[in-house]
């Protein structure tokens, strides 16, 4: 990279609104009573907030075609920009705390702002500025006041992506940084478009070749319900459930109430199964974040959120209870002739996901 070029990490990628355009086009087709845009063979992916749809889609892409060099470079740009934005948010949080008596913060803040301004200057910046910025960020994070802000921030404690990036600053801010598979899975990017389509074309598994489109629909503002009738020819549905949120609630606009997250997922799954036009032949329910679920059970008993549960306060038993609840919902709507399969996994674990995806492929082909 020459000094006259903008560093990759300082460029902000343009927003991709192709999904929004397509959604508007389909609205027009619905008004005319016809639909001309539809994948020939596809699997529909559903899941509520925090269920891990984005990570699942990345795992599918890694397992299928993978990310080529230009795609990784673009993701590297996003990761580096996200890291700098996170630092700025931390600095904003420090403004609510009393002045640092040691004057370390003003000096570190000044150094950070100078480094970011220097690296953003298209006429003077170079790749040599990135190690300078990495050193400056680490010096800033070493200031006691900044440490205090980070330790007191519930958002930081709950954001595993930010924690991951903070632990890899020298590597992420290095010149010509290219994200690894783990970086792609662990780092948080901008919210995905409402509709995401990805080619599900994994390596052939003996007599089980597969070449289909995975269509993911985000659940917000009624968008997912609008698309349900358009997915009537899906070969199968994949529904993601975040087990680790068993003790949390989310707002339900239909009933204007706070609902337990797993119960909300049950309601969403029920609404999909009850759509008369959905003719899918197989349902796959993936209970995600099983590792976090097992860890949290040691602190928050499952019965606190599901008092009707009478089993042991152990991850496998509690997960089996959730599985049975979903299976009952699946059978209620007269779909006993269809197949349902369930898996407990961790979408961040590449080894587990390879096994899960392979089993899904075999199941879909059968």
Question: Each residue of 313-333: pLDDT tens digit?
Answer: 999 999 999 999 998 888 776
Binding-site residues for Mg(2+): 54
Range among 7-11, 69-73, 85-89 rated most confident: 69-73
Binding-site residues for GTP: 288-291
- Nearest Cα to 242, choosing from 176, 286, 199? 286
pLDDT for 11:
39
Which domains are delineated in the chain? 41-65+201-365 (3.40.50.300), 71-186 (1.10.400)
pLDDT in tens, 5-30: 433 333 334 445 665 666 666 556 54
When pLDDT is cut at 50, 70 and 90, the band that residue 126 belongs to is very low
Question: Cα separations (Å) of 44 from 196, 233, 263, 286?
Answer: 10, 10, 21, 13
Contact present, 243 and 346 (Cβ < 8 Å): no
Binding-site residues: 54, 288-291
Query: Dihedral, CA atoms, 113, 115, 117, 123, nearest 10 degrees?
Result: 170
């Amino acid at each position: 990279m020459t000094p006259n070029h903008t560093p990759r990490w300082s460029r902000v990628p343009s927003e991709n609104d192709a999904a929004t355009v397509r959604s508007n086009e389909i609205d027009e087709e619905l008004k005319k009573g016809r639909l001309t845009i539809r994948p020939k063979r596809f699997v529909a992916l559903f899941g509520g907030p925090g269920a891990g749809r984005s990570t699942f889609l990345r795992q599918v892409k890694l397992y299928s075609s993978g990310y080529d060099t230009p795609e990784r470079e673009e993701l590297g740009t996003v990761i580096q920009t996200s890291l700098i934005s996170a630092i700025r948010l931390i600095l904003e949080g420090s403004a609510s705390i009393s002045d640092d008596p040691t004057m370390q913060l003003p000096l570190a803040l000044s150094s950070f702002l100078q480094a970011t301004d220097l690296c953003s200057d298209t006429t003077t910046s170079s790749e040599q500025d990135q190690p300078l910025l990495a050193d400056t960020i680490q010096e800033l994070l070493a200031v006691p006041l900044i440490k205090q802000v980070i330790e007191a921030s519930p958002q930081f404690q709950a954001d595993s992506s930010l924690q991951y990036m903070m632990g890899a600053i020298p590597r992420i801010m290095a010149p010509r940084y290219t994200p690894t598979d783990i970086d792609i899975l662990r780092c948080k990017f901008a919210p995905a478009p409402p509709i995401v389509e990805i080619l599900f074309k994994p390596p052939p598994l003996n007599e089980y070749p597969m070449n289909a489109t995975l269509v993911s629909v985000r659940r917000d503002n009624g968008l997912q319900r609008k698309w349900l009738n358009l997915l009537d020819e899906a070969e199968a549905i994949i529904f993601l459930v975040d087990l680790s949120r068993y003790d949390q609630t989310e707002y339900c606009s239909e009933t204007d109430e706070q609902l337990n997250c797993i119960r909300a997922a049950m309601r969403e799954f029920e609404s999909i199964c009850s759509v008369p036009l959905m003719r899918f032949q197989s349902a796959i329910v993936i209970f995600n974040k099983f590792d976090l679920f097992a860890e949290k059970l040691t602190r928050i008993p499952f019965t606190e959120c599901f008092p009707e549960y009478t089993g042991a306060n152990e991850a496998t038993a509690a997960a089996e209870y959730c599985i049975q609840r979903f299976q009952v919902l699946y059978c209620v709507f007269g779909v006993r002739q269809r197949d349902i399969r369930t898996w407990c996994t961790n979408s961040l674990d590449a080894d587990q996901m390879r096994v899960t995806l392979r089993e899904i492929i075999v199941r879909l082909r059968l």
